[in-house]
Structure 1
Amino acid sequence: MDPSAVAALLSPEGRALLEGLPPYAEVDALRLGTALRARGTDPAIVAAALTQARLRQRARAKFGDAAATMYLTPAGLEQATRREVAAHHARRYAAAGAGLVADLGCGLGGDAMALANAGVRVLAVEADAATAALAAANLARFPGVEVRHGDALAVSLDGVDAVFADPARRTGGGRRVFDPAAYSPPLGALLDLRTRVPDLGLKVAPGIPHAALPADAHAQWVSVDGDVVEAGLWFAGLAPEGPGRSALVLGPRGTAVLAEPAPVPADAPVRAGQVRPLAAFLHEPDGAVIRAGLVARLAEDIGAGLVNEDIAYLTGDAPAASPFATSYRVLDLFDFGLKRLREYLRTRDVGALTIKKRGTAVEPEQLRRRLGLAGRASATVVLTRLAGRQVVIVVEPV
């Protein structure tokens, strides 16, 4: 965000205007902005306040009710940790006995808020001046939090018990960065902080390859309501479970963690699972389980096998009573072919089709258009491979 827009927003006039705005509605924004400017309100303050109102509405998905009083930027909101995940981060630090945590690359301050709520003091450091100013406003009500504008790698860590870092993973143009060496700061430079403060926690992209993980890390992938939102690397006292990989699933059924029964190096190869013929039920592992390389572990837990050695679908004789998988009853199976699939669905008057896929190059939206369905019934199909064949599995959710 432009520094002048931040200054306008944080001015007494800007704060008063923002707090007096009605709940944001896109259809009313233009009319409201025109009316405010006609009343003599500074156009820069009007623009900044309406932008904040829109961002606060979007931020409710991540921050809940706290979003109503936060100051935000689009990039900061995109990278910010969800409130329930930040709370899990904070509990790690509190359990490790950290009195003062350095939050390096604090962004808008979401993790610092969670740490403060857990009773931990925080030194929050942000390189971008405008974002640091907004973070200071967001964290002003927490007496145990200090916000500094500066280089995360240059800040003194004297007296700091533990470090949390969330490096930027987007370019200036907004494109995602997948190479950990291209993070800002780079992952390697952050890992070097362990020589100064062993209790280190890092937030990284969920797509980080296992080979890029330090062997002594505990790497945990996190999904919220079925969406994989992040991976975290935890070291020393912040990883009481020891090195390895795990999946943390947060959803309507509560919180659950899946890991191998004994610690292994975080960069260990993914364990192979047993392949079985398709049975009465198909199980779809949670994305965090797949990212963590724990599909074989899940198969053992639920008494299932893989449908194919390199495809993350499982099969078994009963539904999976597990928060780590969604189960489907198998209704039909046949080789994939556009004509055959179209005829199958039209015979059953299907118009609404859910298409799931793994191990196939078929694009669901393109296939849906080519099928040209117009019926009244609904159906779910899974496109995958069995024993080297491209197949269609017709299923229904359990």
Structure 2
Amino acid sequence: MTEEPPRLAPLLTPEGQALLAEVRDHDPARELALATRLRRDHDAALVSAALGQARLRQRAVAKFGARDAHRMYFTPNGVEQATRTAVAAHRAARFRALGVARVTDLCCGIGGDAVELARAGIAVTGVDLDPLTCEIAEANVRALAPDGPRAAFVRADVTAYDTTGAEALFVDPARRRGAGRVFDPEAYAPPLSWALDAVRRTGLGAIKIAPGIPHALVPDDFTAEWVSYEGDVKEAVLWHTPGAPGPPRRATLLPAGAAVADRGLPDPPVRAPGRYLYEPDGAVIRAHLVAEAVADLPDAGLLDETIAYVTSDVRHETPFATGYEITDVLPFHLKRLKALLREREVGVLTVKKRGSAVEPEELRRKLKLKGRNEATVILTRTAGAPAMLLAHPLPRPR
């Protein structure tokens, strides 16, 4: 079977660029009519390719921002799997702080990380098996980091690629298959064990992994960093930096850049609900750093030893947790909650939960809310028993 050649080149021609500009903000509901009109003056395959890229660029705006997304090129898998700009920029800054001048980017995909490495002044060699993906990665770096150091892209199986002489590696194994996400690190492509050995041989590098990886699978000679963006956990990364290994675990919250690291603190004690409740950021929870995140919070304690809700009688501003002022603490009882919300004329209810089997949508349906006010209910456990806490969110620290 003849290999299909890369299909990006026609879009890079003046005609292709003009088509991309024309279809940039098209309405998908009117795409058929637009395609019919454009095909009167342009090759049908080129029109389809331009419309396909326009759709992918619209999807990519959430990750890359409108300015960058509409200058980039994508594949469907590339949009799904590429690293968000803020996360890639954070990683590039870490490589730069380590004094790295050259990074070999294995499984480079459409070049999201390569772009930010180049923008940070780091030379990149990207390696990927798919020829179209390599061509797209090169085009993306050329478009977004034209003044950066040289970037080269090689079509190769990363497990067979010779990394001899590489200064630092970044490995982003594929963690999706046709059926969905892959949770076993040895089912990554390439497997995690291979990536670990490759980074060890090089001496310095990072491996992107799923944030749900068990802590027991993190090797002792690597440090693990969990990264969230606007409260949503995006990834975990294993870092190998022999000269300055640092703490074994770290959580970084973007876009602010706040970070907390392992200090070996014991979990806060369990206590009764106070006036305030704090919900740690997901990266903090994944990294098992709740104690470190609330170390400066007086009289802080857990509502339950197995649940990452922290309570205190003191109002405290922290970038590592969302705060709530508690107004009511009651045993969980649906009729009582319904009556209380009706009495307070609550029509909009935010449901937070940890350690509760209640489904938020089902709860809202049963409550049949009406009213002009808003409230938050936190479903959890206190003293081992189901409880509901009514609360109001505190303003986020600036």
Q: Provide the TM-score with structure 2 as the length reference.
A: 0.91
Aligned to 1:348: 344
- 3-state SS of the aligned residue for 2:78? helix
Name which of 28, 39, 47 aligns with 1:26: 28
Please tell me the residue identity of whatever aligns with 2:63.
K
Please tell me the residue identity of whatever aligns with 1:221.
W
Aligned partners of 2:266 and 2:245: how far apart in 1? 19
Spell out, residue by residue over 1:2-41, the C-alpha distance to the aligned partner (whole angstroms, 9 max, x if none).
Answer: 856545545554333213434233334333222112x242
Aligned to 1:217: 222
Spell out, residue by residue over 1:306-331, the C-alpha distance to the aligned partner (whole angstroms, 9 max, x if none).
Answer: 11101010000122211001110000
Please tell me the residue identity of whatever aligns with 1:183.
Y
Aligned to 2:59: 58
Aligned to 2:244: 240
Please tell me the residue identity of whatever aligns with 2:165.
G
Please tell me the residue identity of whatever aligns with 2:337.
L
Aligned to 1:278: 273
Aligned to 1:189: 194
Contact 1:71 1:138 in 2 (8 A): yes
Aligned partners of 1:195 and 1:241: how far apart in 2? 13
Aligned partners of 1:143 and 1:294: how far apart in 2? 37
Name which of 203, 206, 229 aligns with 2:208: 203
Pair 50,273 (structure 1): closer, same or farther in 2 beyond 3 Å: same
Spell out, residue by residue over 1:174-213, the C-alpha distance to the aligned partner (whole angstroms, 9 max, x if none).
Answer: x111111111111111001134201020111111111111
Contact 1:271 1:293 in 2 (8 A): no
Aligned partners of 1:343 and 1:273: how far apart in 2? 34
Contact 2:35 2:48 in 1 (8 A): yes
Q: How does 1:10-159 map to 2 (within 5 A)?
A: 10=12, 13-37=15-39, 39-64=40-65, 65-140=67-142, 141=146, 144-159=150-165
Spell out, residue by residue over 1:65-96, the C-alpha distance to the aligned partner (whole angstroms, 9 max, x if none).
Answer: 22121001221111111112111211222222
Contact 2:211 2:233 in 1 (8 A): yes
Name stretches of at least 5 consecutive residues in structure 2 with no aligned partner. Answer: none
Aligned partners of 1:235 and 1:63: how far apart in 2? 27
Please tell me the residue identity of whatever aligns with 1:169.
R
Comparing 129-138 with 207-216, greater Cα deviation is found at 129-138
- 3-state SS of the aligned residue for 1:383? strand
Aligned partners of 1:59 and 1:157: how far apart in 2? 31
Please tell me the residue identity of whatever aligns with 1:148.
V
Pair 25,240 (structure 1): closer, same or farther in 2 beyond 3 Å: farther
- 3-state SS of the aligned residue for 1:134? helix
Contact 1:245 1:292 in 2 (8 A): yes
- 3-state SS of the aligned residue for 1:139? helix
Aligned partners of 1:49 and 1:387: how far apart in 2? 59
Aligned partners of 2:241 and 2:250: how far apart in 1? 16
Question: What's the CA shift for 1:214?
Answer: 0.9
Comparing 177-186 with 270-279, greater Cα deviation is found at 270-279
Question: What's the CA shift for 1:58?
Answer: 2.3
Please tell me the residue identity of whatever aligns with 1:273.
P
Aligned partners of 2:124 and 2:241: how far apart in 1? 19
Please tell me the residue identity of whatever aligns with 1:378.
E
Residues 1:327 and 2:323 aligned together: yes
**What percent of counterpart residues are identical?**
50
Pair 385,131 (structure 1): closer, same or farther in 2 beyond 3 Å: same
Aligned partners of 2:221 and 2:127: how far apart in 1? 26
Name which of 366, 369, 373 aligns with 2:369: 373
- 3-state SS of the aligned residue for 1:275? coil
Question: What's the CA shift for 1:160?
Answer: 1.1
Aligned partners of 1:319 and 1:29: how far apart in 2? 53
Question: What's the CA shift for 1:115?
Answer: 1.0
Question: What's the CA shift for 1:151?
Answer: 0.8
Spell out, residue by residue over 1:203-241, the C-alpha distance to the aligned partner (whole angstroms, 9 max, x if none).
Answer: 11111111111112111111111111111110125x835
Aligned to 1:162: 168
Q: Provide the TM-score with structure 1 as the length reference.
A: 0.91
Please tell me the residue identity of whatever aligns with 2:250.
S
Please tell me the residue identity of whatever aligns with 2:112.
G
Question: What's the CA shift for 1:60?
Answer: 2.1
Aligned to 1:266: none
Name which of 247, 253, 260 aligns with 1:249: 253
Contact 1:8 1:44 in 2 (8 A): no
Question: What's the CA shift for 1:45?
Answer: 1.7
Aligned partners of 2:267 and 2:207: how far apart in 1? 28
Question: What's the CA shift for 1:98?
Answer: 2.1
Aligned partners of 2:223 and 2:387: how far apart in 1? 37
Aligned to 2:260: 258
Contact 1:198 1:235 in 2 (8 A): yes
Please tell me the residue identity of whatever aligns with 2:105.
D
Spell out, residue by residue over 1:265-286, the C-alpha distance to the aligned partner (whole angstroms, 9 max, x if none).
Answer: xxxxx94331111000011101
RMSD across aligned positions (CA): 1.9
Name stretches of at least 5 consecutive residues in structure 1 with no aligned partner. Answer: 263-269
